[in-house]
Structure 1
C-alpha cells in the first residue's frame, strides 16, 4: 500500500513512521509504501515551528534539524528577541523555541538579565511602536527626570529620552518628576537621601535644619517653601536657601513681613501655617501674648512672628468711641405695667490690658450689666414717673454701669433710653386720659374767652351810650359789612336818610 504526500512551495514537512521522526521534506511530491507513514506540514509564512517533542528531537536529530531551524534556548536568567520580517517576538527565561529558516529573514538577540534589564538604545528605536510581552517602554520628556525602580527599589535616574526594560519576573516602574517645579514630591525622600547620595549630590540640594532654625526657600526670586525647625527636604539644584535663627527673637523684620505676609499670594500660601500675623489698624491697639504671657502693646501696622515652638495670641482693641444697643427689653414697672425699653450706650476702651485680662468678652459683659441696670431703674418707678422723667433713668443707669466698668479699663461716656414702648391697651387708656384732659382744658379756655368777649361788649355799649359819635361810627361799620354782601346799591337822598331808614327797619 502506497502513501502519496504533496508539500506546497510555501510549506515544509516532517515525515514520521508511526511516531518516529524520519526526515525533513522540502516542497514536492513523495510516495511511501506502508500504512504507518504520516507527514506534519508547516506553513512557512508562520515563522515559529511548533514541533511536538522538540527538545527530544534536538537531542537525537539535531544534525538534521539545524539546517532548517533557528533554535533559541534561554537559561533561567536569559531572555531573547527574535525578529522575523517586520515582526518581533520575545522569548522568556527557560524556554526552547524553533523558527524556520530561509523563508523569512530571522535575527535573534539574547540578553542576560543579571547584567542589565535595560535594552540597548538600538533596540529601543527598532521596537518603537511595537508592543512586546515582558518589555516595558518609557518616554521621559525634556522637562522631566525619571526615577527607575525595580521591585520598588530605586536604581538610577533617567535623563530625557526613550527607554525600554525587561520586566520578566520583576516589577519595573519609572516615576517622572518635573524639573520645572523646584520642590517636587520626591518618592521615598528619606530613602533617597540616606541610601543614594550620588543621585542627591548630582541632581538635588538638601536642606537640613537645626531645632532653632527656619529655612526660606526661593526659586527665581520667589518664595516656594518654608521649612520648620529640625526638618530636612530635597529640592532640585538652583534654589536659594535663607536660614533664619528664631531662638532669641521670633519676630520677622519688616522686609520679610512685606515679602511673606502681605504682597505675594504664593508666599502667603507657603507661610500661612508658619507665621502668626496680626494687623493693627489705625486708632486700634494690639496686645501680644507669647505662651499665655503678656509681652507688649502693638502699634498700628502689620506684625508677624514665626509660630514654631510657641503659642501666640494677639487680640486687637478699637480705641474709638463705640455704641452698644440694648434693644427689646421687656420690663415691669413698679405698678406692674409691662414695658418694652430700648437703650443705647456709648463707651471707650482706655486700658486694653485690663479689659483683656479681666474679661473674657467685654462686649457681652457690658451688655448684661446694662440689662441689669435698666431693669433695676425701670422696676423701681411707676409708669407716670417714667414717662415724665426719662433723664432720671439715664442717670441711674449711667452711675451703675460706670462703677461696674471702671475697674476693667472701660469708660461709658453716655447712656440714654431711646424708646419706652407701651402695650396696646395701655396706649388706648392713656390716649383717652390725654383726650379728656385736653377737652377739659379746651372747655376752660372757651369759657374764659366768652367771658372776656361779653365784658368787652359791655364796655363798648357804655362808650356808645355816653358818646353819640361813637354810636354813629359803629352804625357806619355795620353798613360797610352789609354793603360787602350786596351786589348793587341805589342811594336816594342823603347818607343820613339811609342810616335813619336802616335803623327804622331794624326796629
Structure 2
C-alpha cells in the first residue's frame, strides 16, 4: 500500500522508515509506501523544527537539512534573543533549538548572564517584552549609586534608569543622597568649667562627597551626632558660664574647625554650623535677670544724674549771660510773660491811668 503526500512551498517534509529518520523532503508530491514502513512528517517552515516524540538531535546529522535550518545551542549561563526578519521574536533559555531559514531570516543575540548589564546589542525598545528576564533599578537625580554584583563593588552609577538580566548574579545598587542635609543636636546637657549645667541646641549642615566611604560606615548619621556632641562638650567644659555667654558666637567657628579635621574620614563636607539656643537652669536664669536689672537700673541712674548736671550747668550759663546783659534779661522776662499770657483767660486792671501804663507798671522794671 502507498499514499501520495504533497508538501507545499511553506512546508517541509521529514521521511521516516520504520520510525527512524531517513531523509529531508523539499516541496513536491511524494509516494509513500506505508507497506514498507514509510511515514512522512509535514512541518510548517514558519515554525521551529520539531516533531512530536522525536528528538531534535536525530535530524541534525542530515547535511541537506542543516542548510535550511539554523541550530542554536543555549548554555545554562546564557540567554539568546531571537529575531525574525529583524523583528524581536522571543527569548531562548538553556537547550537546543532549530529554526527554518527558508521563509525568513533569523538572527540571534547571545546574552552572558555572568555580566548582568544589558549590552548595546539589546535594543531598549524590546525591554518591556523581556519581563521576567530583566530587573530595573533607578538612581534619582539627587543621588549617586554604587553597583554591586554578589556584594562585590563594580562601579559608580550616575542618575538614571538601569536594566539588568536576572540570573545567577545578584545585582544591587546602593544609593546615597547628595543633597545638603541637616543634623540637629537638641537639648544636650553640658557642664561648664564652673560646674553649671546647661542645655544646648546646636545645628550643622553637611553634604556627602564620597559615597563609597559613607556606605562603609555603619549608622553614619549616628556617628556624626556623637562626634558633634563630643566637640561641643570639649568646648563648653573648658569655659565658665559668663565667658561662654559672652563668646557664644565663637562656638560655631570652633566646632567647624574641628569638624573640618574629621570630615574626610566620613566622606562628607560640613557646610555650616551654629548655636540655636543656650537654655539655663531656672535658678541661674533668675540670678542673671537680677544682675541684669541692677545693671540697667544703675545705668539709668547714671544717665539721670548726667542729664540733671547738664541742665543745671545750662541754667547757670544762662543766668550769667542775663546778669551781664540787661537787654537779654528783659527779653527773657518778656518770654515768660508770653508763656503766662498763653495760659490766662483774661487780665483785670484797676486803678487810674490808661491800660498801657498799668501794663507797664505790672510787668515793667522796678
Which range, TM-score by smaller chain? 0.5 to 0.7
TM-superposed deviation, 1:437: 0.3
Q: Within the alignment, does 1:298 sit opposite 2:157 as a pair?
A: yes
Question: What CA deviation, in whole Å up to 9, does each residue of 1:261-317 have, x standing for no partner?
Answer: xxx7xx79x54xx65533222243211122222211111111122242223332222
Aligned counterpart, 1:419? 277
1:342-421 pair list within 5 angstroms: 342-357=201-216, 359-421=217-279
Aligned counterpart, 1:94? none
C-alpha distance in 2 between matches for 1:460 and 1:503: 21
Aligned to 2:213, the other structure's residue is in SS state helix
TM-superposed deviation, 1:453: 0.7
Gaps (5+ residues) in structure 2?
1-51, 54-72, 83-87, 97-107
Q: Is the 8 A contact 1:257 1:304 kept in 2?
A: no
Question: What CA deviation, in whole Å up to 9, does each residue of 1:325-373 have, x standing for no partner?
Answer: 222212222222222211111212222223223x123322222211111
C-alpha distance in 2 between matches for 1:421 and 1:434: 17
TM-superposed deviation, 1:451: 0.8
Q: TM-score, normalised to structure 2's length? A: 0.65
1:498 to 339, 347, 359: 359
1:281-360 pair list within 5 angstroms: 281-357=140-216, 359-360=217-218
Q: TM-score, normalised to structure 1's length? A: 0.48
C-alpha distance in 1 between matches for 2:343 and 2:134: 97
Larger radius of gyration: 1
Aligned counterpart, 1:444? 302
CA separation of 1:258/1:400 partners in 2, compared to 1, >3 Å: closer, same or farther? farther
CA separation of 1:328/1:275 partners in 2, compared to 1, >3 Å: closer, same or farther? farther
C-alpha distance in 2 between matches for 1:226 and 1:473: 117
Q: Is the 8 A contact 2:113 2:165 kept in 1?
A: no
Q: Is the 8 A contact 1:213 1:243 kept in 2?
A: no
Aligned counterpart, 2:112? 246
Gaps (5+ residues) in structure 1?
1-196, 199-207, 218-222, 233-241
C-alpha distance in 2 between matches for 1:277 and 1:499: 111
Higher RCO, Cα 8 Å, sep 6+: 2
CA separation of 1:231/1:285 partners in 2, compared to 1, >3 Å: closer, same or farther? farther
What's the C-alpha RMSD, in Å, of the aligned pairs?
A: 3.8
CA separation of 1:499/1:472 partners in 2, compared to 1, >3 Å: closer, same or farther? farther
Aligned length: 280
C-alpha distance in 1 between matches for 2:186 and 2:206: 17
C-alpha distance in 1 between matches for 2:290 and 2:125: 70
Q: Is the 8 A contact 1:246 1:306 kept in 2?
A: no
TM-superposed deviation, 1:322: 2.5
Aligned to 2:274, the other structure's residue is in SS state strand
C-alpha distance in 2 between matches for 1:326 and 1:249: 46
Aligned to 1:456, the other structure's residue is in SS state helix
